[in-house]
A and B are shown apart, each in its own frame.
Chain A
């Protein structure tokens, strides 16, 4: 605070509250819709205050038969699929990026820069621009409708490799010298010194990558035809389509709420790590 301006202070809080209302309104409407019975959700105008059916709807959505007239997997299974996909993408990306960043920073070997540029190029090839041929590759490898097919093609990441490279470069050279004097080999140095020193970076990156993995949409949409492999994020689209015939908005919005809950919880409860991860990976 530079100077005391009571009017500006009030205005500040007013603008912030207005901003929050604007940002939160769609989520509030979703929550309200998920807490009413189906009949109320067909009467115009729709409610603005929550009803008393929240937990009934949650139970019906998670374990019920889902929407009438559609053949989709139960929601708990879709959430499980999403969780497996998000975790494999996040952990896979972190592991392979740690290893390759270690090799590039700590070893001198022929084609080192060649590998570096090869990894760098992936930055310029998001899945959206190479959809069809990547789909063909995955189909040829027989990976359709599998967790491997869902996660493996998304695992290579230039940003994570860059971030770990940056982290490793800040670690003083004396660390390696003293480790060597004490007789530690490269892998021992990696495990006992590099990994513990980059622990917070790994955690921050994990938060970002978990959200990234959980929210994947186009890739699972192409790769899964079997209903038992669908992820919760992609199921929303099918539900929106079936809403044309049977508008069970309470169930649809409850599914949407469940689909966004895990990443929101991660952001809210690991806010420090999230902000750190966001600002560091995008530099």
Chain B
């Protein structure tokens, strides 16, 4: 990774990396190590004394049924978001791959939700599903379905999943389409000559060949659902009703800034960091495979 032709040691390279290293140390490494340190402390109710307690905060978390429940809820939420948005994107990309005329036009109209902030996506969906005014809630009511995500926990969950998936379809669509377009036409033509219809070609040729992209997107979508959906949940449900939509990130924020339980919040941050690191490692392993392919 170093160039064969390069400059010899001097002061200059240190000056060049200095800004980035300084910011990384002050705003990344230091806070992260603080979180790690605080996760081993318990502070009394008045903040007067702190006690070093080793893994007590972590043990308390995993003994706490609410936390364990949040953990599984987050897993369910992120799998649902990834599944829904990737499924929709796959169908759209498979058809877009066939379009000869107007391909750019369709692509343009499909990719813009990517540019919308999660909290705005949440605002749009909460407006459509507003129990008293919302247009979709009104239509559902006409169909005999009573919609009130402020009271009904599973409806609230469904709403945040839909809003989160809606925003991510654009991203998945772009990657699926790029992967499909990079498959050599000759392979597909050969299959067509052998008598394979479009559906069969999709399942036996296109889908297996885009597997690396699918895995890559799965990881990216999980990360997205874990962390970037904070805004959606904050705007739509604030984790409610009765914690029905509280996911891990939301709980870190809530326990730390609202509940001011620093030790527990820090321990939760550390668990989240472990999850990100695991996901990043998985992502990089798949990317190495992708290079071979």
CB interface residues, B 16-67, toward A, < 8 Å = 16-17, 19-21, 23-32, 34-35, 38
Q: Does A13 contact B (CB under 8 A)?
A: yes
Cα of A260 to Cα of B138 in the assembled complex, Å: 26
Bound-state Cα–Cα, A131 to B254, Å:
11
Q: Which of A54-62, A72-80, A132-140, A198-206 contacts B (4 or more CB under 8 A)?
A: A132-140
8 Å CB interface, B112-142 against A: 112-121, 123-128, 132-135, 138
Which chain B residues lie closer than 8 Å to A106 at the CB level?
Answer: 3, 6-7
Contacts of B32 in A (CB 8 A): 125, 129-130, 133
Q: Which of A165-203 contact B (CB under 8 A)?
A: 165, 168-169, 173, 176-177, 186-187
Known: A44-B133, A132-B257, A236-B235. A156 touches B112 (CB 8 A): no
* A264 and B116 in contact, given A12-B99, A108-B8 (Cβ under 8 angstroms): yes
In the complex, the answer to whether A16 meets B106 with C-beta atoms within 8 Å is yes
CA distance A118 to B17 in the complex (A): 11
Q: Closest Cβ of chain A: how far from B129's Cβ, in Å? A: 10
Q: Is B151 an interface residue when CB atoms closer than 8 A count as contact?
A: no
- Whether B20 contacts A275 by the Cβ 8 Å rule is no
Measured between alpha carbons, how far is A252 from B126 in the docked complex, in Å? 12
**Complex-state Cα separation, A5 to B95, whole angstroms:** 13
Q: Mark A269-283, 1 if CB is under 8 A from B, else 0.
A: 001001100110011
Chain A residues closer than 8 Å to B198, beta-carbon distance: 5, 8
In the bound complex, do residue B23 and residue A236 qualify as a contact, i.e. CB atoms below 8 Å apart?
Answer: no
CB-contact partner of A23 in B95, B104, B110, B117, under 8 A: B110
Interface string of B79-112 (1 = CB under 8 A from A): 0000000001001100110111000101111111
A122 touches B124 (CB 8 A): no
Q: Which of A48, A126, A129, A137 contacts B30 (CB 8 A)?
A: A137
Task: Determine if B158 is an interface residue (Cβ-Cβ < 8 Å).
Answer: no
A214 CA to B262 CA in the complex, in Å?
30
- B240 CB to nearest chain A CB (Å): 13
Which B residues are CB-close (under 8 A) to A214?
117
B26, A137: Cβ atoms closer than 8 Å: yes
Smallest CB separation, B136 vs chain A (Å): 9
Instruction: Name the one of A13, A29, A133, A264 contacting B124, with C-beta atoms under 8 angstroms.
Output: A29
Total A-B residue pairs with C-beta atoms closer than 8 Å? 302
Select which of A3, A122, A128, A253 is within 8 A of B127 by beta carbon: A253
Query: Contact at A153–B17, with CB atoms within 8 Å?
Result: no
- Closest chain A residue to B132, Cβ basis: A44
| A22-64 contact mask (Cβ, 8 Å, vs B): 1 or 0 | 1110110110010000000110111010000000000000000
A45 to B99, CA, bound (A): 37
Chain B positions within 8 Å of A, measured between CB atoms, are: 1-10, 12-14, 16-17, 19-21, 23-32, 34-35, 38, 88, 91-92, 95-96, 98-100, 104, 106-121, 123-128, 132-135, 138, 166, 169-171, 174-175, 178, 185, 188-189, 192, 198, 201, 220, 227, 230-231, 234-235, 249, 252-253, 256-257, 262, 265-266, 269, 272-273, 276-277, 280, 287
6 contacts between A and B (CB under 8 A): A23-B109, A30-B127, A129-B272, A132-B256, A259-B120, A274-B111
Known: A103-B14, A152-B23, A263-B117. 14 other contacts (CB 8 A): A8-B198, A16-B92, A19-B95, A23-B169, A100-B20, A106-B7, A108-B8, A118-B24, A136-B31, A165-B1, A168-B3, A249-B133, A263-B115, A279-B178
